[in-house]
Homo-oligomer: A and B are copies of this chain.
């Protein structure tokens, strides 16, 4: 009933391949404390990851690759979230509604900040797309003119190959 699913351990090489990074990147993020200090691995033994760890890692990668955040900024965010996780432990034991309220509001602020950044980048991308599309129209127009010009100047058709 309330039995927890076996957390499906995955090794670092498979994780790296799934997320499109190298194992070095994952180790570096761990070194910076970005991977929740889980597992308590004994030195020299293999790193093992659950699906939750992978989701966490993917979020870090998106914050970096899609939103352009520095790892320092992401670490700061993570420390916020870690404080949240620490308090969540108390959540189960001794609630204290005032604390819960505080935690939930902080979590909301973080997510809304990330949503803001996503929208900023979407806007910038859309603007860039517009300029590229305009350039494409111009090029296509020139190509049409070229085809028409060479057709009227001479009997040679526009070169189709090579």
Complex: chain B residue closest to A118, CB-CB: B129
Q: Is A100 engaged at the interface, CB distance under 8 Å to the other chain?
A: yes
Verify B97–A142 contact, CB threshold 8 A. Answer: no
**Chain B residues in 8 Å Cβ range of A149:** 97
A108 interface neighbour in B133, B143, B162, Cβ under 8 Å: B143
Q: Are A125 and B121 in contact (CB under 8 A)?
A: yes
Q: Chain A interface residue count: which class?
A: 35 or more
Residues from 140 to 162 in A contacting B, C-beta threshold 8 Å: 140, 142-143, 146, 149-150, 156, 158-159, 162
| A33 close to B (CB within 8 Å) | no
Which of A2-10, A41-49, A60-68 is found at the contact surface with chain B? A60-68
Copies in the complex: 2
Q: Known A118-B128, A122-B122, A129-B115; judge A140-B66 contact (CB<8 A).
A: no
B125 contacts A111, C-beta separation under 8 Å: no
From residue A125, how far is it (CB to closest CB) to chain B in Å? Answer: 5
Q: Enumerate A100-145 residues with CB–CB distance to B below 8 Å.
A: 100-102, 104-105, 107-108, 111-112, 114-115, 118-119, 121-122, 124-126, 128-129, 132-133, 135-136, 139-140, 142-143
B159 to A97, Cβ gap below 8 A?
Answer: yes
Q: Report B-chain residues with C-beta under 8 Å of the C-beta of A121.
A: 66, 125
